[in-house]
């Protein structure tokens, strides 16, 4: 397949690297034009330059003014936004009794507030045109408890139910809202943070044993699910939580 997103404009937060950029590549293959938003505008522009008809934008998803500026620029450059991928996220490690207020608030700001601010920026245009698709990034950590990831699990759990709530408000108005819930993707910045070099073989084996498929994910595993959810093939799919986790949450 190569034209499932033909002519659509897709904005991806955190799109310069990792799963976000892999998703951008898959969307471009399907004919989309990409608007990549990331913390560092030069990185976003360099990644966008690898894709046809695409542009990069600086924007911290926690910053209301920066989100307004970035999405105004995208609308000026492309005229409309058909798809939004709320991919930007951070992870952190602490059980609740050891988490700091600063760490907790940062986790909520990037993952939860970031999803809110980017969604709020695109929704008026999508509602006016009566069409659009939003894909939020949850995680297996939004569905089950992961040891030592208190604030991350809380943030991803919030994104999971934000997805259902958004679907309730907007599905009847032409805007579908879904979430992908990836399992561990080892090769990205976050994956390396999760499976850091200080992780002993026993802990690593324990993590891997949670995946019945016998491996961790690849960025493209997640990207293909996002393409489907953005595409018209998913016309009857909204409010869904798409586990892309090698069966991790099935057992
Ligand atoms: P990554 O750390 O490799 O890439 C994240 C990208 O987001 C980077 O380009 C970074 O600069 C950008 N970013 C971070 N904070 C930002 C902010 N405040 N504003 C704008 N951009 C920001 O992460 P990865 O692995 O690609 O993860 C992407 C998404 O997938 C995240 O939401 C993550 O929680 C989720 N996920 C990742 C899994 C994994 O094992 N890697 C598993 C499950 C979910
Ligand atoms: C960081 C990402 O959202 C994955 S959390 C899952 C950790 S584990 O189940 O692979 O130990």
> Within 13 A of 108's CA, how many CA atoms are on the CB side?
10
**pLDDT tens digits, one per residue of 99-120:** 999 999 999 999 999 999 999 9
pLDDT grade, residue 1 (50/70/90)? low
Please name which ligand lies nearest the alpha carbon of 180: 1
- The CA 184 to ligand 2 mean position distance, Å, reads 5
69 CA → ligand 2 middle, Å: 33
Mean pLDDT of 56-67: 98
With CA atoms as reference, report the closest residue to 38 among 104, 92, 106, 118: 118
Element housing 34 (H / E): strand 33-38
Reported confidence tier of residue 235, pLDDT bands at 50, 70, 90: very high
Task: Output the residue whose Cα is nearest ligand 2's atom 6.
Answer: 184
Helix, coil or strand: residue 87: coil
Spell out where the chain has E strands. Answer: 9-13, 33-38, 55-58, 83-86, 132-137, 175-182, 241-244
Which is the closest atom of ligand 2 to the Cα of 206? 11
Which helix (DSSP H) or strand (DSSP E) does residue 86 occupy?
A: strand 83-86
Ligand 1 atom closest to Cα of residue 156? 34
pLDDT of residue 117: 99
Angular region, 100: left φ>0, alpha ψ -120 to 50, beta rest: beta
- Ligand 2 and 180: CB distance under 6 A: no
**Is the Cβ atom of 194 under 6 angstroms away from ligand 1?**
yes
In this prediction, residues 17-42 reach a mean pLDDT of: 98
Are 69 and 59 in contact, with CB atoms under 8 Å apart?
Answer: yes
Catalytic choice (57, 152, 170, 211): 152
211 is catalytic: no
Q: pLDDT tens, 151-210? A: 999 999 999 999 999 999 999 999 999 999 999 999 999 999 999 866 788 888 999 999
Ligand 1 atom having least distance to the Cα of 111: 32
Instruction: Between 86 and 201, name the one with better pLDDT.
Output: 86
- The pLDDT confidence band at residue 131, using thresholds 50, 70 and 90, is very high
Instruction: Find out whether the beta carbon of 91 lies less than 6 Å from any atom of ligand 2.
Output: yes
> Does any ligand 1 atom lie closer than 6 A to the CB of residue 20?
yes
Helix, coil or strand: residue 6 = coil
């Amino acid at each position: 397949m190569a034209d499932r997103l033909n002519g659509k404009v897709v904005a991806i937060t955190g799109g310069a690297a990792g799963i976000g950029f892999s998703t951008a590549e898959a969307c471009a293959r399907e004919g989309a034009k990409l608007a990549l938003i990331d913390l560092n505008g030069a990185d976003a522009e360099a990644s966008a330059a690898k894709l046809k008809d695409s542009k990069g934008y600086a924007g911290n998803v926690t910053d209301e003014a920066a989100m307004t500026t970035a999405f105004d620029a995208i609308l000026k450059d492309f005229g409309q936004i058909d798809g939004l991928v709320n991919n930007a996220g951070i992870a952190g490690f602490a059980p609740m009794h050891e988490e700091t207020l600063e760490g907790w608030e940062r986790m909520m700001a990037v993952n939860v507030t970031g999803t809110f601010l980017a969604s709020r920026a695109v929704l008026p245009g999508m509602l006016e045109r009566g069409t659009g698709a939003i894909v939020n990034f949850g995680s297996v950590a939004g569905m089950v408890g992961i040891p030592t990831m208190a604030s991350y699990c809380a943030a991803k759990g919030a994104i999971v139910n934000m997805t259902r709530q958004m679907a309730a408000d907007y599905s009847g108005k032409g805007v579908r809202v879904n979430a992908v819930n990836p399992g561990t993707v080892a090769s990205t910045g976050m994956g390396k943070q999760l499976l850091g070099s200080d992780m002993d073989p026993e802990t690593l084996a324990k993590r891997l044993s949670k995946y019945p498929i016998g491996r961790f994910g690849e960025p493209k595993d997640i990207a293909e699910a996002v393409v489907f959810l953005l595409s018209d093939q998913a016309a009857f799919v909204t409010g869904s939580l798409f586990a892309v986790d090698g069966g991790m949450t099935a057992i």
